[in-house]
Structure 1
Amino acid sequence: MIVVTTPTGQIGGPLVRRLLDRDKEVRVIARDASRLDDTVRERVETVEGSHDDPAVLDKALPGAEALFWLVPPNPRAPSAEEHYLGFARAGAAAIARHGVGHVVGVSSAGHGWPTPAGVLSAAFAMDAELGTSGAAYRALSMPFYMENLLRQLDAIRGQGAFSLTCAGDVPLALIATRDIAGTAADLLTDRSWTGQENLPVFGPDRLTPDGMAEVISQELGRPVTYRRMSVDDYASLLRSRGAGDRTVKDVTEAFAAQDHGIYDADWAIAEPTPTDFRTWCREVLKPAVDTPAS
């Protein structure tokens, strides 16, 4: 039995389908089971609730051989680290209690970074806590998600531009979430691995944001440019949307660490995943841009 958290998310959803395609027994923990696709719901066991709840974990983990762990975002949490550790403490205790042998967690690249990195540091703290469970553990260590660009569909459609806080002429490490799901599926189904390690998961490109804009322009058939936003301007944008000071700090520290190379050491040793940025733009971004905004 393989247990999957966040089974309706952009990683957990594709992961569940991959596991079912391999005829694996899957049990999911879902906060809202009604969001599961009908074709998935009829083929999985479902435990409804949140996986920071020990009672929910005690329903989900009996008989589990492997667990996929992802902490859902919560911008209203007092801090990113408190949020991640709240889940991880409940998870580590339950994993040990039920003798789950293998755990695959969604983390960030950059373990060992010497200065605070906000949300990324919170993920590192989660990994350390899950490691206390005694299970074999792989922290999938990722850089910038290509899917983050989907949050800027209106700007890409209407302004022909997208914005990040990093320099336009410095390569930005990227990953497609479907490749995260693929890596997780391989680990969860072939459990010959042991020990606790961080596993860098990076796409094959070495594109700068300016280069990304060129690829997007070619695939969309219209000009799209990259506009750099300062970290201070991004902080002001977050505050205008109601974010509190700690949330702003957690996010801007992460972006500052990204700008200063937190991903570089892992990028140098990562085995490239299959999905390049051009393919992702053609198969994911373009259909999303071409779909009229509701």
Structure 2
Amino acid sequence: MKIVVTGSLGNISQPLTQELVAAGHAVTVVSSKTDKQAAIEALGATAAIGALEDSKFLTDTFGGAEAVYCMIPPNFATPDSRAYYRAIGSSYVQAIERSGVQRVVHLSSWGADLDKGTGFILGSHDVENMLNQLPDVALTHLRAGYLYYNLNNYIGMIKGQGIVGSNYGGEAGIVMVAPADIAAAAAEELTTPAAPGPRVRYVASDERTPNEIARVLGAAIGKPDLKWVAFGDAQMQAALEQRGMPAPAVASMIALGSSIRSGALRQDYDQHHPHALGKIKLEDFAREFAAAYQRA
């Protein structure tokens, strides 16, 4: 098959590309950075260098493809994250329509079913709805959980304050996922025929609470008494502002944490639980976390 992968050589797109190439597919990888071309070609793929916002570039790149993997790179600095998502989503819609691609796999997020109160995830909600309007396209939304590597953002807090903390904690249910498990699900979807129309597939590797996460990470770094502390929204907002995070990003972080705390973020996940969880568990990631902790 001829398959286009967006996301350059990111945490998901690189292992996805490697898996598809190893299976004998002709893969084109989209990147905005010219300096990635050699590395993309070293994987046995073709590089297409251009911007995701450029619908003509995407249309040309998608031409002749049998399947496309669409993702939107995170941009926490943008003042309007929903507008950023919609701009790239619109570019995808135009390119898919004009190129005639029939199979699309879109990287989305748990909580994308909700139309308010989820911060950054509202962008994924918007793009899902935009893509759902495409006629005669077999479309799969991969709703991925909380990416393990985001836990690395707490390394500074652990070193500085001896805790992990957010505006949720205790026994809140967190759906976690490894990039490699997302890549495996994406590869399966891209290469499996599907009927026209949208469908949702949740992708998760593990289900844990903040208390469990703190215990596992603490054991891995030699701090068995590590605790996850639940902050109030105002306390967390002040801390994020002190770190210099832009106001829109602060508001999104608070909203996202609140939706985890209330359980709203995972309600649809619980109703449409994946048949099987991925292979990589929190304890597996904890070894990577410990290595990153020692390097920091």
TM-score, length-scaled by structure 2: 0.89
Residue 79 of structure 1 contacts residue 250 of structure 1 at CA under 8 Å; is this kept in 2? no
Letter in 1 for 2:292: A
Given the alignment of the two structures, is residue 287 of structure 1 paired with residue 291 of structure 2, yes or no? yes
Q: 1:114 to 1:26 in 2, by over 3 A?
A: closer
Report SS of the residue matched to 2:206: coil
Partner of 2:53: 52
Distance across 2 between alignment mates of 1:70 and 1:192:
19
Residue 55 of structure 1: how far off its partner (Å): 2.7
Between the aligned partners of 1:186 and 1:39, the Cα distance in structure 2 is 21
Provide the rounded CA distance (Å) in 1 between the counterparts of 2:164 and 2:216. Answer: 13
CA contact (8 A) 2:59 2:96 kept: no
One-letter amino acid of the counterpart of residue 267, structure 2: D
Larger deviation, residues 66-75 vs 83-92: 66-75
Matched pairs, number: 290
Within a 5 Å distance, the mapping from 1:67-106 to structure 2 comes to 67-106=68-107
Aligned residue runs from structure 1 range 13-52, under 5 A: 13-35=14-36, 38=39, 40-41=41-42, 43-52=44-53
How far residue 193 of structure 1 moved from its aligned partner, in angstroms, is 4.9
CA contact under 8 A between 2:172 and 2:261: conserved in structure 1? no
Q: How far, CA to CA, are the matches of 1:155 and 1:20 in structure 2?
A: 40
TM-score (norm 1): 0.89
Which moves more between the two structures, 224-233 or 117-126? 224-233
SS in 2 for 1:174: strand
Shift of 1:84: 0.6
Q: Which of 195, 199, 212 lines up with 2:201 in the alignment?
A: 199
Q: CA RMSD in A?
A: 2.2
Distance of 1:111 and 1:42 partners within structure 2? 32
Share of identical aligned residues, percent?
23
Could you tell me which of 139, 146, 149 is aligned with 1:147? Answer: 149
Residue of structure 1 equivalent to 2:239: 237
CA 1:154–1:252 in 2, change beyond 3 Å: closer, same or farther? Answer: closer
Counterpart residue number, 2:273: 270
- Code of the aligned partner of 1:153: I
Distance 1:65 1:289, change over 3 A: same
Deviation of 1:50 after TM superposition, in Å, equals 1.5
- Partner secondary structure for residue 253 of structure 2: helix
Q: Secondary structure at the match of 1:78?
A: coil
**Secondary structure of the structure 2 residue equivalent to 1:263:** helix
Q: Tell me, in whole angstroms, the C-alpha distance in 1 between the residues paired with 2:150 and 2:279.
A: 18
Q: Is the alpha carbon distance of 1:234 and 1:12 closer, same or farther for their aligned partners in structure 2, counting shifts above 3 Å?
A: farther
Q: Deviation at 1:24?
A: 1.4
Provide Cα deviations, 1:6-48, integer angstroms capped at 9, x if missing partner: 1221111221112122121110110113236737546211111
Shift of residue 160, structure 1, vs aligned partner = 4.0
| Separation (CA, whole Å) in 1 of partners of 2:116 and 2:122 | 9
